[in-house]
Amino acid sequence: MLSKKMLKELNIQIMYEMFSAYYYLSMAAYLDDLNLAGFANFFKIQYKEEVDHAMKFYNYIYEQGGNVKLQAIDQPKTEFKSPEEIFKLSWEHEQFVTSRIYILMDLAKKEKDYSTESFLKWFVDEQVEEESNMKGLLDKVKLVGKNGNGLLMIDMELTKRVYSPPVASE
């Protein structure tokens, strides 16, 4: 059973995961406007993954006998200067999400909530991947700078990314 404080924090995390989805969809829209379909594809898949993350929290709350209390989601930024800015913001955002997961993990440890600690381990590992992916793409975009050929090469690479829904055991 979840403590009141843990339940409150898990519900807040659903909001942050849904905000992340909305933020990445906003980035995809900006990139679609630039006709960078590969970059847009990358962020549309990020959007889906963030919704999946929110649903993992949603389902976990109910598995633990809690109640989901959905909260308002802030409007994400909609105007960007460049793909480089988008990846910089994305990397910073993933660092923020990591800090949120750590807050939850610290609370689970403090409360000796071993079930939630076990549940959160997946997110700790996932955030290593999320931050690494965003930083790697930021570095590539920085490397090519305003070189149109380089950006188009990265764009083509990102068209190959495919959404993989999580398996039921996740």
Q: Residue 134 belongs to what H/E stretch?
A: helix 114-144
What DSSP string runs through 57-117? HHHHHHHTT--------PPPP---S-HHHHHHHHHHHHHHHHHHHHHHHHHHHHTT-HHHH
Residue 61 resides in a domain: yes
The CATH number covering residue 66 comes to: 1.20.1260.10
Residue 164 resides in a domain: no
Distance CA 126, CA 121 (A): 9
Confidence of residue 41 (pLDDT cuts 50, 70, 90): very high
pTM for the whole thing?
0.94
Residue 166 resides in a domain: no
What does the mean pLDDT of the chain come to? 96
The pLDDT score that the predictor gives to residue 168 is 61
The pLDDT score that the predictor gives to residue 169 is 54
Residue 165 resides in a domain: no
Residue 168 resides in a domain: no
Confidence of residue 148 (pLDDT cuts 50, 70, 90): confident
The stretches of 34-64 forming alpha helices (DSSP H) are 37-63
* Number of compact structural domains in the chain: 1
Domain range for 53: 4-70+79-159
Residue 143 resides in a domain: yes
The pLDDT score that the predictor gives to residue 147 is 80
pLDDT tens sequence across 81-104: 999 999 999 999 999 999 999 999
Residue 170 resides in a domain: no
Mean pLDDT of 62-78: 97
